[in-house]
Amino acid sequence: MWLLFGGLAVLAAVLNVIWWVRRKNGSLWAGLSLSCTAFTLCAFYGDIAGRVNAGDWAGIEDIVPALSPALWVLTALSAAVNLLLLAGYSRRK
């Protein structure tokens, strides 16, 4: 589920940039991208919590060390891209 939300967050961020280039208001895409980013983090946390409850320590040892840095970087990039474009939208007015 977190992979689906992550893909939607990236897609919405790309659409936000496209709307910016076309000089249209893409703040809806920015909001959707930031929301999907938050849902991605929640879904990832829920996945790990489910693995803890099931006692799947090997799965946790495989997933968390590899994906934790990626989640930090992608979350920061999502926030930066969308917030910069939202600031740009407000300056255009």
Side chain identity at residue 75, one-letter code: T
Give the pLDDT score at 49. Answer: 94
Question: Which residue numbers in the chain have pLDDT < 70?
Answer: 92-93
Identify the pLDDT of residue 82.
86
Q: What is the pLDDT of residue 11?
A: 93
Interacting residues of 8 by C-beta distance below 8 A, sequence separation 6+ = 32, 36
What is the per-residue pLDDT for 93?
Answer: 62
Contact 33, 14 (CB under 8 A): no
Q: Give the span between the Cα atoms of 18 and 28, in whole angstroms.
A: 13
What is the pLDDT, as a whole number, of residue 88? 78
Which three-class secondary structure state does DSSP give residue 35? helix
